[in-house]
A and B are shown apart, each in its own frame.
Chain A
Amino acid sequence: MIGLTQLNVWIDVVFSMLYIVIVVALSGHFLGNVLTGRAKRRFVGWEWPEHEGGPIPPLPKFLHFQHVAAMIALGISGMYIRFPFFNGGRTFMQWVHYIAMIIVIINLVVRLWYAFGSRRRDYREFAVTKRDITTAPKVILYYIFVKPSKPHLGKYNVMQKGTYILFVPLLIIQAITGLMLWRLQFPVVDMSIQQVVAGIIGATGVWWVRTTHYLINWLFIVLTTIHVYLSVTEDFPAFLDFFGLSFLDRPHAPHSDHGHDDDGHEGVPAEPVVAVPAGDQV
């Protein structure tokens, strides 16, 4: 069995290198966008996909905005706790981590209620259908520039749905492991949750919890990086809208790389649609 020492070293080496590989790969992908003319069509010609359904309601937008801010704070403060990369500020960073953790947990609870318990119940938008699975290869081929267009699949494609669905259990595990590692000394009882946990599962058990937390942290960093890249390069108006910047959007030109070809007629340019600002989409 691999020791704690070696596992620590492997995690650091693998993920730090993996992240470099991903950043290089995304840079390469953007170069592909430039070389194939996709970047010019989108950012110069302002050709973006149109969305089904109404405009994004305020609550999920607000939750998303908070979630992004808290996750960035968690990522930076969490990495600082493991790799203190500047002098001082440890206590401050720990508190940033604690507060952001609470925000993310509350966000998660509210978002799950919104998806399953609210009047809007938007969980169906994330459900992976049979059609999603059959069209998945075409989506992948589109992203790697083999096919010039991708199938039209409603609000999210299969890769987006898969990622967002994966986020939920990861967030739950991250919240549980994070709480188990919480070193805040509570008054009156003068104990931290970590001390209680250590009393139950021992220091080695706590170390495995920490390792799990650290691994998932890397997964979030990787997935979020890809998510941000794709949201900017594939659907910039939606990106702007999520951050309340839809006033920067302008009428979209008909998009030619979105063929609505879920019947297998990939590469056929879409019919021109009436240009509508993202905020006014129906």
Chain B
Amino acid sequence: MRMTVRSAIGIGALAAALMLPGVSFAAPATSTVVSTASLSATATEAIKQATTTVRPPGYKKPPMPQKQSYDLDWTLPTAGKSGCNVCHGDENLVRIQDGKTVSLYVDSAVLQDSAHKNVPCTSCHVDFAYKTPHDTIVKNGDEWRAVAKLACKNCHKDAFTLYSNGAHSPAGRPGDTSSTVGAPDSSAPGKPRPLCGDCHGGHAIPSKEDTEARAAVHASALTMCGTCHEKASGDYYDYYHGDAYQNSATDAPACWQCHETHKVLPAKDRRSSVNENNLSETCAVCHAGADEGYIAYAPLVHHAEELHDANPLKQWVDGIIASIKSVFNR
């Protein structure tokens, strides 16, 4: 994979990181991420400025540890986030992957507002903790990304257990695309089964205590689930549920309020919250006293258009309208 860090400031920051106590980069590691041949004159100047640090009088360079390995050193700044953000805090940090420019920028402000503001980067990016990041892990396709997206399980064990028992679970095998593709008869045919991060996002995971963020998550269901479940999200527009939800009603249910959050199962699965055996219980969460008679409403939730189209009176009127149109179209 060809990788080029374009940002001059990023390079400067990377160079500055080299000056941090306890950090020493081996020459080969930096040479793989920096292609100086592609740098412009301005960028070169910026690097010069960044590396030519003005030291106060009497400054003594901290002693560098002798023969300290690259892998071990990397964990020190990473644990405090400042290490990773020295480079990844630069919004111009990008790389070229398969002909596309991919941003490697991580917004510190977003991290700070997230539920994980006190979690070190390497708690999720576990494979970056004890290995050289830029010449081995990153080169291995998207595996490092899959590791990060599944790292939630290390803390959120209950949620991961539920997820593992649901239809979304790839059985914890990141990168195994052959087993993570939705079956043709599923509601998301051909789509990869999502890892935690695919639904919850990465660095901007909101805190449960953040009311606004909770509302934003509630409002995001058609993006979150609809990206794969296109038909189900497109069909979701019955009166008080889907239609209201699609028009930003905060009291209308998001997908997971009926389909569960982590233990998502197809409706035909007896364990599913939307299986007919469990529907009255699911509906009763909002509709107190929902019984077997009440769940007769359920088909409308995702099939309102089909049911309206099947109505004999509507079909009759539609037929008349079509006949009239055909007369004028002759």
Chain A residues within 8 Å of B, Cβ to Cβ: 3-6, 8-10, 12-14, 17, 81-88, 90-91, 195, 198-199, 201-207
Contact = CB atoms under 8 A, between A and B. Distances in A.
A87 B247 contact: yes
Given A4-B294, A199-B289, 5 more contacts: A3-B297, A82-B240, A84-B246, A201-B289, A202-B290
Contact of B290 (A14, A84, A203): A203
A90 B247 contact: yes
Contacts of B251: 90
Interface stretch (B1-9, B264-272, B308-316): B308-316
B131 to A, nearest CB: 48
Contact of B288 (A13, A86, A198): A198
Interface-centre pick from A12, A85, A201 (highest chain B CB count, 10 A): A12
A14 B313 contact: yes
Given A13-B311, A17-B313, A84 B247 contact: yes
B317 interface: yes
Contacts of B289: 198-199, 201-206
A98 to B, nearest CB: 14
B287 interface: yes
B288 A90 contact: no
B249 interface: yes
Given A4-B297, A204-B294, A10 B311 contact: yes
Given A5-B296, A9-B311, A203 B248 contact: no
A17 B317 contact: yes
Given A14-B313, A87-B247, A90-B244, A203 B308 contact: no
A207 B239 contact: no
B38 to A, nearest CB: 46
Given A14-B313, A17-B317, A195-B288, A84 B294 contact: no
Interface in B39-56: none
Given A12-B308, A203-B283, A203-B287, A5 B299 contact: yes
B307 A5 contact: yes
B307 A9 contact: yes
B300 interface: yes
A3 B303 CA distance: 15
B63 interface: no
A14 B308 CA distance: 11
B291 interface: yes
Contact of B308 (A13, A88, A202): A13
A5 B300 contact: yes
B248 A88 contact: yes
B313 A206 contact: no
B236 to A, nearest CB: 13
Contact of B291 (A10, A12, A90, A203): A203
A90 B294 contact: no
Interface-centre pick from A5, A12, A87, A205 (highest chain B CB count, 10 A): A5
A203 B291 CA distance: 7
B319 to A, nearest CB: 13
B247 A203 contact: no
Nearest to A17: B317
A84 B287 contact: no
Contact of B294 (A12, A88, A207): A207
B69 interface: no
